Amino acid sequence: MFEPTEATRVAVECLTIWLEADKEKAAEHIAHLQHSPNGPGATTIISGFLNLGELLVLSLAKERGAGAEDIRQKAGDILREWSVQLPE
C-alpha cells in the first residue's frame, strides 16, 4: 500500500511526463504503473492525482487572496468556475 505522499509523488511523475507533450508516451507510462505487479495501481494513482489537484487548487486560491479561514471555499469557487468553462 502506498502512503499519501508516495501517491502524490507518483501523480507528480505522471503529470511531469504528461506536460512533455507526448500524451501517448504518458498514457503508456500510467498504464504500466497501473498494471505493474509492484506498481501503485489505479486506486493509488487516482488518490495521488486528487492529492496533487487539491494542493494545486489550494495554492491557486491562496494566490488569489484566500486566507486560512476561506481557502477551501475559494478553492471550491475556482473549481466551479472551471467546470462551467469546460467545452461540452
Cell of 82: 472551471
Q: Which domain holds residue 26?
A: 4-85
What is the per-residue pLDDT for 2? 67
Spatial separation of the C-alpha atoms in residues 33 and 1, rounded to whole Å = 14
φ and ψ of 40, to 5 deg: -75, -25
List, for residues 6-60, the tens digit of each pLDDT value.
999 999 999 999 999 899 999 999 999 999 998 999 999 999 999 999 999 999 9
The vertex-48 CA angle with 25 and 30, nearest 5°, equals 20
Residue 10, Cβ neighbours under 10 Å: how many? 23
Tally of structural domains, the chain? 1
